[in-house]
Chain A
Amino acid sequence: MPCCILPIVTALFLIAGIARGDDPLTYERHVRPILKAHCFDCHGATAEPEGGLDLRLRRFMVRGGDSGAAILPGEPAESYLLERIQTGEMPPGDKKVTAEEYLLLKQWIATGAITAREEPEELDEGIVITAEEREFWSFQPLVRPSVPELADSNGVRTPIDAFILARLQQDGLEFSPEADDRTLLYRATIDITGLPPTPAEVADYLTNESPDKYKTLIDKLLASPRYGERWARHWLDVAGYADTEGYTPSDADRPWAYRYRDYVIKSLNADKPFDQFVLEQLAGDELVSPPYKNLNQQQIEYLTATGFLRMAVDGTGSGANDDKARNHTIADTIKIVTTSLLGLSAGCAQCHDHRYDPIPHTDYYQLRAIFEPALDWKNWQTPGQRLISLYTDAERAAANKVEEKVKIIAAERNVQLKQYIQEELEKELSKHGKRLRQKLRAAYETPADQRTDEQKLLLKVNPSINITGGTLYQYNQASADELKKFDKKIAEIRKQKPVQKFIRALTEKSGQVPVTHLFYRGEYQQPKQAVTPAAFSICSPTGNRFEIPVNSEHLPSTGRRLAFARWLFRGTHPLVGRVLVNRFWMYHFGRAIVGTPSNFGVLGQKPSHPKLLDWLAVEFANNGWSLKSLHRQIMLSTVYRQSSKSDPAQSAFDGAAIDGANLLYWKKPLIRLRAEALYDRILATSGALEQQLYGPPVAITTDIAGQIVVAGESKRRSIYVKVKRTQPVALLKSFDAPVMEVNCERRPSSTVATQALMLMNSQYILKHAKSFAQRVAREAGNVKALPMEGALPQFDDIADAEAQQIPFPQQIVLAWQLAYGRQPTADEYLAALNLLSEQISILAADSNRAKDIAPGLQAMTNLCQVLMSSNEFLYID
């Protein structure tokens, strides 16, 4: 059963509550959250509380239960509640009230057990949402904040800058200087496309004199198809994209999942408005009328989009098509929806009222009801059943014709098979005497279910008589080979069939409207009251909850998801906009404004720049939910364009001393390449990268060490590499690519020896270092100095004879240009020359060295590997 993770941080926000000083302790603000976390399950949530004690109101506590009053205001020593807690009897189970929480309860009783306001006369059953809970920051209506007006607005280009600088100035900080052109070019190019600029692009940009060149660059990058490949990966993280089903050990393939991946790439490249993008993913099927036949491109796109709701782990097509597996898939789908769009970890409310956030148990199932007509565990569509064929009627007719031809060949094959078996049977029979032969023949020819016991025994003691199509090869390989010719012929004929493609879609069955029940303790075996579809109460003002009709009058489907998706983007939802812009900000800056991008609840972090967050969310909606507009706004700001280097000697402030973690953005955070960007950058640098968009996943394989690698020689970008849940590609995994169990809200950026070893010794880096060295040797003849400080070094000859044949000096310069987009410094240049010449002499003297590679190329390969393992390669300034 699903289980909440109850972090230890509870006490922290409670202590923060006390620390407010003159604010008196009240039931609603200070005490109720503790009781809700520890006690309400038994003493409040149910109609008949345990021991008759209901803790949901102060006056209920005073009244008490079967054992008398729970508290005596002003008298902690006389309060039974405290006694029970202190002795550890309550709450039962492992999770106890902390010392801080206990003290707070005690203090509240001692100060008279005050409430913030008069308690209601009547209380609905269950746990209601209090005014205090509604005050929480992330549930506040979204209002466009006014942009700060600063006396000293030095460096402010955009409203974003004003918000950031206003906060910086509070701490005596200001912006760092703008990064140099080359750094900006690299930063923006990798940020938007996930790939480095080419040396030609570097040269162009550096020689461009236009004052608008940075803005032009951003526009150019956003227009590149590579943009969709880079940013799709971000969205696929939260969608939980995988090419396999998970759940069962076989982790079966999802052959058509990639069409959803391609849909995401295409939509982002087209800058499809994000409200439309999400609407299609939540309810694209409701925009198309069944039956889903002879579909046009638009309809195909809508149906493909619903792949989002088909991303959850799903064992129902691979050996686990039971109620448990189905409900597991539904729960994971809800988790994907709530974490990606609502920024709430609603999973707790699957079993009981959420202990920290105002999400009642019923709310969870009402949200589930929105999806249940399509994810109906009583009338489940297995992965095979939910495929929609893209065959047109004409194609289907053509395919049927081909199958008719196949039938003819198959019949011929069958005749031949029977003849072959007969021939071998005769040979085997001839080894026996006449009488036995007859008996054996009769036994063999009698259908298996009609044989007498005697016949069965006879065949058992003479096993070689039991010739079948499967064992024919043991008797006569030539015959078996003949039969294979038929199979080949059939395969040939089938090639004439129009290729049948499918969509993995989420659809409803017309007229099938299941009733959703609340599950007691989240257990599907214990369904309780029926619930109707509705959004979470907390996402709307009191009394104005978004409830959805059970069935739409205008659509063949129930219309629940369509209504929900439209409501999400009406502009009044407190969470969706904030959650989305927060995540986009995170991808640009390596950290989010709300550090827990999928938890905007009580246990999540507070925003570092709340007004900026709100401003961005409002702007996003006002600009028609255009993600590319948001990129422009962010990337054109001063805060984005700052240098990432801190140089106290050069600057007017000591950022490192005041804000060492750079939480306030006084410089651009340095970001380590994400796993995919590193994989792709290595490919691009070695010159191998293929630019082809879309298509079925690139296969992976297991090497002898059990390590997962890309199969064959594919040079496609990592986004096209198959995502098998149980077999993450080793290089990607070691650089923090997610293991897709559900979805990934935020990637860590780890620094461990594993990664060092990958870059020192793995086949991937070794192979591409060699391609890089070969590319350098091939192209070095035309190397030109980049227009930047540090002129091209004078190409001194080095003594080694071999080196004179290959222009090493030029190669070094080109290697630097390809890896870093800059000239080597004089020091670096000499050190590299020195490294090459040392290595060449070691190799030349080593009689055991590999003979298939010249010492010069080997040494250059080593240098290239070092460049691709270096921090300058791994990090974006």
Chain B
Amino acid sequence: MFGNHSRREFLTQNAMGVGGTALAWLLQQEQLRAKPASVVGASAVPDMSPRRPQFAAQANAMISLFMHGGPSHVDLMDPKPELSKYSGTEFQGDIQYSFVKRASKTLMGSPWKFKPHGQCGTEISELLPHMAGIVDDLCVVRSMHTGFNGHEVSIRYWHGGIPAVLGRPTLGSWVTYALGSESQDLPAYMVLTDPGGAPVDGVNNWTNGWMPPLFQGTVLRPQEPRILNLQPPAHLKGKLQSKNLSFLKKLNRKHLERHPEEADLEARIASYELAARMQVAATEALDLSDESNSTLKMYGIDQPETKEYGTRCLLARRLVERGVRFVQLFLGGQPWDNHNSIRTSLPAICRKTDQPAAALVLDLKQRGLLDTTLVHWGGEIGRLPVTENQGDAEKAGRDHNGQGFSCWLAGGGIRGGMTFGETDEFGHRAVVDKVTPNDIQATILHLFGIDHRELTYFYNARKQQLTDGRNCRVVHELLPNIA
């Protein structure tokens, strides 16, 4: 399962990859169907048939709520009383800035109040009331560290395993490459993009890198057609396209009569029918009309501010329910990149995402899916404890900080109701139990029942790994019952 794949095999796969991932996936499905059952899984070529992990898995699916831009941990989930205390004074330590012109050393205490919540008592900011409500299910990691303040450098670290390096397969690629898909009707790795546009680094956030295109994230677009090519454009959907297809069938049948016994012509007629059936399966998964009002309300789909993100969180649950292995949500641009006016811009993005994200955890839990579905919430970096000088105090913001920040995990074998690690007293650097994106990746693969060192893909004359042999570990402290 975790063996070598030669360049030739790669190409065989690449040759069926079509660019459009939905299509690569479809083609794969067809080939699976064409194979006798006994051969499925025995193929030397990587495919999407479900595979067993190396050891007992806690998680069998993952939803990642990726928060581009760098959420300000000191205002959200890493309370810093010292920062508040010395707010307005000069920071005595060493700081790494991105924007030198506006750099200052003036500490800025969080304008928002923190309170303990749940049985565990984890302190959460008033900006995230819904997260506060599920805190007993969360493991908040407060000692994240990439070592780099830049967005792209750290984004690529999170997705591809090496800081700054572009063109490597992403986490979702590795998970689906290892385990295949539970669903034979939907793509295994799906990406839900924001109507506000593409995130920074665009399609690189879900690239398959040098793996076959089968392992690329399939984009579920925020508007119709939700999956390019798999679904008709809005203006053809329904009766129009079905009339087109039946007319096409009529023409093709006539043509076949003139060329009897040409198997390829018959196969092509059948290929249109198969395509239409696949459209139906995807359409069903995306249709929210069978969801109850209370569910819609829980996700905030009844409110303008949360409607869009709530819808995507709900879709993520529906996809996982139908066997999709890896789902990742992105935001448009970098709404968490609060260089200026943090007092207004940060609450806005919190209002958009807080309720839907919490609802997702609650909903998974009430359906018994949280035990096996790992949920991740976090950005590539955090923000500095000092003010980014924008002149006017109201316009104050915070600059990038890859030295210390927070993220949270829930479900899929993660221990709830805990925090892990610490930043310094001002929240600049991770100082206790530093955790890197590689550590998180190793831990995620571990929850899926895979040793990150043994999951390899042969490329460029060597066995490649997600964590690339870098110094990292499975963070066992985040898992229950540590031996």
A residues neighboring B (CB under 8 Å): 3, 5, 249-250, 324, 460-461, 463-464, 466, 471, 474-475, 644-647, 656, 660, 670, 672, 702-708, 727-730, 733-734, 738-739, 741, 749, 751-758, 760-762, 766, 825, 827-828, 831-832, 835, 838-839, 842-843, 849-850, 853, 858, 862-863, 865-867, 869-872, 874-875, 877
Query: Contact: A758 with B240, CB < 8 Å?
Result: no
Query: Contact: B30 with A464, CB < 8 Å?
Result: no
Q: Tell whether B327 is near chain A: CB-to-CB under 8 Å.
A: no
Which one of A464, A645, A739, A760 has the greatest number of beta carbons of chain B within 10 Å? A760
A324 to B460, CA, bound (A): 11
Q: Which chain B residues lie closer than 8 Å to A839 at the CB level?
A: 240, 243
What residue in chain B is nearest A656 (Cβ atoms)?
A: B261
Query: Contact: B19 with A733, CB < 8 Å?
Result: yes
Query: Contact: A5 with B268, CB < 8 Å?
Result: no
Q: Which chain B residues lie closer than 8 Å to A645 at the CB level?
A: 258-260
11 contacts between A and B (CB under 8 A): A704-B202, A733-B18, A738-B15, A741-B7, A751-B268, A754-B23, A756-B271, A760-B241, A761-B230, A831-B250, A866-B251
Query: Contact: B252 with A758, CB < 8 Å?
Result: no
* B1-51 residues at the A interface, CB under 8 angstroms: 6-8, 11, 14-15, 17-23, 26-27, 30
What residue in chain B is nearest A657 (Cβ atoms)?
A: B261
CB distance from B254 to the nearest CB of A (A): 7
Query: Contact: A753 with B206, CB < 8 Å?
Result: no
In the complex where A752-B27, A870-B251 touch, is A463 in contact with B229 (Cβ < 8 A)? Answer: no
Q: Which chain B residues lie closer than 8 Å to A760 at the CB level?
A: 229, 232, 241, 244-245, 272, 275
Q: Tell whether B387 is near chain A: CB-to-CB under 8 Å.
A: no
Query: Contact: A670 with B167, CB < 8 Å?
Result: no
Q: Tell whether B361 is near chain A: CB-to-CB under 8 Å.
A: no
Query: Contact: B23 with A730, CB < 8 Å?
Result: yes
- Taking A741-B7, A870-B251 as known contacts, 13 extra A-B pairs with beta carbons closer than 8 A to each other, sorted by chain A number, are A3-B6, A644-B259, A670-B259, A704-B221, A730-B18, A751-B271, A752-B26, A753-B26, A756-B272, A761-B228, A839-B243, A843-B240, A871-B251
Which one of A672, A728, A761 has the greatest number of beta carbons of chain B within 10 Å? A761
* B63-99 residues at the A interface, CB under 8 angstroms: 94, 97, 99
CB distance from B388 to the nearest CB of A (A): 12
What residue in chain A is nearest B24 (Cβ atoms)?
A: A754
Q: Which chain A residues lie closer than 8 Å to B247 at the CB level?
A: 831-832, 835, 863, 866
Q: Which chain B residues lie closer than 8 Å to A753 at the CB level?
A: 26-27, 30, 271-272, 274-275, 278
CB distance from B104 to the nearest CB of A (A): 8
Query: Contact: B11 with A704, CB < 8 Å?
Result: no
A825 to B251, CA, bound (A): 11
Q: Tell whether B219 is near chain A: CB-to-CB under 8 Å.
A: yes
Q: Which chain B residues lie closer than 8 Å to A471 at the CB level?
A: 100-101
What residue in chain B is nearest A736 (Cβ atoms)?
A: B15
What residue in chain A is nearest B7 (Cβ atoms)?
A: A741
* B147-190 residues at the A interface, CB under 8 angstroms: 166-168
A729 to B18, CA, bound (A): 8
In the complex where A3-B6, A249-B166, A733-B18 touch, is A757 in contact with B23 (Cβ < 8 A)? Answer: yes
B residues neighboring A (CB under 8 Å): 6-8, 11, 14-15, 17-23, 26-27, 30, 94, 97, 99-103, 105, 166-168, 193, 198, 202-203, 206-207, 209-210, 216-219, 221, 225, 227-236, 239-241, 243-245, 247-248, 250-252, 254-256, 258-262, 264-265, 267-269, 271-272, 274-275, 278, 461
Q: Which chain B residues lie closer than 8 Å to A752 at the CB level?
A: 26-27, 30, 271
What residue in chain B is nearest A251 (Cβ atoms)?
A: B167
Which one of B100, B193, B241, B256 has the greatest number of beta carbons of chain A within 10 Å? B100
Query: Contact: A865 with B244, CB < 8 Å?
Result: yes
In the complex where A3-B6, A760-B275 touch, is A249 in contact with B231 (Cβ < 8 A)? Answer: no
Which one of B228, B229, B262 has the greatest number of beta carbons of chain A within 10 Å? B229
Query: Contact: B229 with A761, CB < 8 Å?
Result: yes
Query: Contact: A466 with B100, CB < 8 Å?
Result: yes
CB distance from A519 to the nearest CB of B (A): 16
What residue in chain A is nearest B31 (Cβ atoms)?
A: A752
In the complex where A761-B229, A875-B265 touch, is A828 in contact with B251 (Cβ < 8 A)? Answer: yes
A828 to B6, CA, bound (A): 51
A863 to B236, CA, bound (A): 12
Query: Contact: B19 with A704, CB < 8 Å?
Result: no
A871 to B252, CA, bound (A): 6
Query: Contact: B23 with A734, CB < 8 Å?
Result: yes
CB distance from B15 to the nearest CB of A (A): 5
A613 to B293, CA, bound (A): 73
Selected from A463, A706, A850, A869, the residue in CB contact (under 8 A) with B19 is A706
Q: Which chain B residues lie closer than 8 Å to A869 at the CB level?
A: 248
Selected from A324, A464, A756, the residue in CB contact (under 8 A) with B100 is A464
A3 to B10, CA, bound (A): 14
CB distance from A338 to the nearest CB of B (A): 17
In the complex where A706-B219, A707-B228, A733-B18 touch, is A838 in contact with B258 (Cβ < 8 A)? Answer: no
Q: Which chain A residues lie closer than 8 Å to B255 at the CB level?
A: 870-872
A827 to B247, CA, bound (A): 12
Query: Contact: A249 with B209, CB < 8 Å?
Result: yes
CB distance from B82 to the nearest CB of A (A): 21
What residue in chain A is nearest B245 (Cβ atoms)?
A: A760
Query: Contact: A5 with B8, CB < 8 Å?
Result: yes
CB distance from A534 to the nearest CB of B (A): 29
Q: Which chain A residues lie closer than 8 Å to B271 at the CB level?
A: 751-753, 755-756
Selected from B27, B225, B243, the residue in CB contact (under 8 A) with A754 is B27
A758 to B23, CA, bound (A): 9
Query: Contact: A460 with B101, CB < 8 Å?
Result: no
What residue in chain B is nearest A850 (Cβ atoms)?
A: B235
Q: Which chain B residues lie closer than 8 Å to A838 at the CB level?
A: 243
CB distance from A774 to the nearest CB of B (A): 16
Query: Contact: A842 with B251, CB < 8 Å?
Result: no
What residue in chain A is nearest B21 (Cβ atoms)?
A: A706
Lowest 4 CB-CB distances: which A-B pairs, in order?
A730-B19, A249-B167, A474-B101, A756-B275
A704 to B101, CA, bound (A): 35
Selected from B103, B244, B245, the residue in CB contact (under 8 A) with A464 is B103
In the complex where A471-B101, A670-B259 touch, is A757 in contact with B26 (Cβ < 8 A)? Answer: yes
CB distance from A725 to the nearest CB of B (A): 10
A644 to B265, CA, bound (A): 13
A646 to B261, CA, bound (A): 8
CB distance from A547 to the nearest CB of B (A): 34
A276 to B27, CA, bound (A): 43
Selected from B22, B207, B209, B254, the residue in CB contact (under 8 A) with A705 is B22
In the complex where A739-B11, A870-B252, A871-B255 touch, is A706 in contact with B206 (Cβ < 8 A)? Answer: yes
CB distance from A656 to the nearest CB of B (A): 5
What residue in chain A is nearest B96 (Cβ atoms)?
A: A463
A707 to B167, CA, bound (A): 16
CB distance from B395 to the nearest CB of A (A): 15
Selected from B30, B216, B268, B461, the residue in CB contact (under 8 A) with A706 is B216
A827 to B255, CA, bound (A): 13
In the complex where A474-B99, A751-B264, A870-B255 touch, is A757 in contact with B243 (Cβ < 8 A)? Answer: no
CB distance from A365 to the nearest CB of B (A): 21
Q: Which chain B residues lie closer than 8 Å to A865 at the CB level?
A: 244
Query: Contact: B229 with A741, CB < 8 Å?
Result: no
What residue in chain B is nearest A460 (Cβ atoms)?
A: B94
Which one of A705, A729, A752 has the greatest number of beta carbons of chain B within 10 Å? A705
CB distance from A283 to the nearest CB of B (A): 30
Q: Which chain A residues lie closer than 8 Å to B267 at the CB level?
A: 751
A734 to B24, CA, bound (A): 9
Query: Contact: A757 with B19, CB < 8 Å?
Result: no
Query: Contact: B274 with A756, CB < 8 Å?
Result: yes
Query: Contact: B243 with A835, CB < 8 Å?
Result: yes
Q: Which chain B residues lie closer than 8 Å to A755 at the CB level?
A: 268, 271
A693 to B82, CA, bound (A): 71
Query: Contact: B101 with A670, CB < 8 Å?
Result: no
A749 to B11, CA, bound (A): 17
Query: Contact: B265 with A871, CB < 8 Å?
Result: yes
Query: Contact: A463 with B20, CB < 8 Å?
Result: no
CB distance from A707 to the nearest CB of B (A): 4
